[in-house]
Amino acid sequence: MSTTIMQVKHLYKIFSTQDNDSKEKEAYTALQEGTSVEEVTKKQQVVVALNDVTLDVEEGKILVIIGLSGSGKSTLIRCLNLLHRPTAGEVLYKGINILDYSHNQMQEFRRTKVAMVFQNFGLMSHRNVLQNVVYGLEVRGIERGQREKQATAMLEMVGLQGWENKDIRSLSGGMKQRVGIARALTNNPEILLMDEAFSVLDPLVRNDLQFELLRIQEKMLKTIIFITHDINEAFKLGDKVAILRDGQLIQVATPEEMLNNPANDYVQRFINNVDTTKVLTVRSITEVPGALVREGVGANLAVKIMGVNGVSSAYVLDSHMHYKGLLPLNAALAVAGGKKSFAEALLDIPCITDPDILISDIVQMSADSVFPLPVIDKDGLFLGIVTKAAVLTSLQK
């Protein structure tokens, strides 16, 4: 069962165009009294960046926050470490409101519990790669040998072993972002905040870093809050995805839940361009075949079952629902005519052995198979079949 490590409760962030705190408070009060955002914005000369956002963050999971420019996603992530101080609401870390932290508590929180990876890398050009990565530990007073050992391990994890002494200015954008990730991880934070960390990178490098992040997450199980404007990136990385619009939270769900049950037309429009085969799993398109026969039944009965269901093959199961093979009509007729045994008539066709595999990973397998693919679980239990039609339909969504 997942544990909630951070909660955002009724969070508001209002920016005054005149840098006037009293204007922010007046605007918040007006919103509480039911005044529309449009009227508050015009009358108080403010920007309502976050408007009553409530959100739970699960420990050890990746939460992706997505929205168009101006939706409030970057403001939200900056409220989680108080780079922006909320106008109202709570940010709870393990049940304690960080807005109540003293200066020393906040400093300790930023140094040891949370780390941030920025869109523009945020590296120091006068330091080499290793010196950038050790910076957080250096500030904390960690002994040089220990901090360099930790930093070197993280550089190896992100694929930069041997680059420790390179000048930051000599690195590509993708390599700079790897340094940024290594620097954040070297502090061993519980929560990693990533604000459009891959958005300035070219598509190939971006794809590589997405894979690296998933690989790192599998090893380290950090709580990651990732900001993006790319729905495909959100669905690829996120255990859950949160969609913001004009400072309001519209929906929080797993990618598959959101794809199958969008909260409203806005969410539906937002995800229309997503590559569904990289989100939906085989389980979502698995269906029960018309012709199922138990091992040991006569060939004549098998032929009859196929005829009733209008198909030319049947899937054979044992008494415990384990899949045994495919029985084609011509082979069943051969058994009935005494030309083959039932066991000899069964075809051994490829099976999908993980129902939670992505559809994108079985497209070629489906295309190469003459028959619908049987789906079984890790114990060999038959779950159903995946047809070419179901795969093609998922490609067209």
The CATH number linked to 23 is: 3.40.50.300
pLDDT score at 134 = 86
pLDDT score at 58 = 95
Domain endpoint, select from 274, 297, 326: 274
Does the pLDDT of residue 8 top 80, yes or no?
A: yes
- Helix 203-220, helix 173-186: angle, nearest 10: 20
- CA-to-CA dists, residue 242 to 21, 234, 284, 294, 326, angstroms: 29, 9, 22, 46, 43
Domain endpoint, select from 274, 308, 332: 274
Q: How confident is the model at residue 392 (pLDDT cuts 50, 70, 90)?
A: confident
Considering the domain boundaries, does residue 35 fall inside one?
Answer: yes
Is 382 found in the same domain as 256? no
What's the rounded mean pLDDT across residues 127-134? 87
Is 321 found in the same domain as 267? no
pLDDT score at 208 = 79
In sequence order, which residues have a C-beta less than 8 Å from that of residue 68 and are 6 or more positions away? 229, 245
Considering the domain boundaries, does residue 225 fall inside one?
Answer: yes
Is 200 found in the same domain as 103? yes
Q: How confident is the model at residue 191 (pLDDT cuts 50, 70, 90)?
A: very high
In sequence order, which residues have a C-beta less than 8 Å from that of residue 132 and are 6 or more positions away? 123, 124, 168, 179, 183
pLDDT score at 374 = 95
**pTM summary value:** 0.72
How much of the chain exceeds pLDDT 90, in percent? 42
Is 266 found in the same domain as 286? no
Is 8 found in the same domain as 89? yes
| Residue type at 189 in one-letter notation | P
Number of domains present in the structure of the chain: 2
For residues 181 and 123, the answer to whether their CB atoms sit within 8 Å is no
CA distance 329 to 311: 8
Is 109 found in the same domain as 214? yes
DSSP letter for 359, please.
Answer: G
Tokens of 272: 């229309």
Is 293 found in the same domain as 269? no
pLDDT score at 231 = 86
Structural domain range at position 329: 282-396
How does pLDDT run across 264-300, given as a tens digit for each residue? 999 988 887 777 777 788 988 898 888 888 887 788 8
- Helix 173-186, helix 144-157: angle, nearest 10: 130
How does pLDDT run across 27-75, given as a tens digit for each residue? 999 999 999 999 999 888 899 999 999 999 999 999 999 988 889 999 9
Is 388 found in the same domain as 250? no
Is 222 found in the same domain as 91? yes
Is 20 found in the same domain as 100? yes
What's the rounded mean pLDDT across residues 322-337? 92
pLDDT score at 1 = 65
Strand ranges across the sheet with 88-93: 46-58, 4-16, 88-93, 96-97
Is 328 found in the same domain as 286? yes
Give the CATH number of the domain where residue 378 resides: 3.10.580.10
Considering the domain boundaries, does residue 301 fall inside one?
Answer: yes
pLDDT score at 284 = 83
Considering the domain boundaries, does residue 374 fall inside one?
Answer: yes
Is 270 found in the same domain as 286? no
How does pLDDT run across 80-110, given as a tens digit for each residue? 999 999 999 999 999 999 999 999 999 999 9
| Residue type at 120 in one-letter notation | N
Domain endpoint, select from 240, 274, 308: 274
Considering the domain boundaries, does residue 173 fall inside one?
Answer: no
Considering the domain boundaries, does residue 33 fall inside one?
Answer: yes
Choose between 110 and 21: higher pLDDT.
110
What's the rounded mean pLDDT across residues 336-362? 90
Considering the domain boundaries, does residue 183 fall inside one?
Answer: no
CA distance 227 to 230: 9
CA distance 340 to 317: 19
Q: How confident is the model at residue 396 (pLDDT cuts 50, 70, 90)?
A: low
Q: How confident is the model at residue 213 (pLDDT cuts 50, 70, 90)?
A: confident
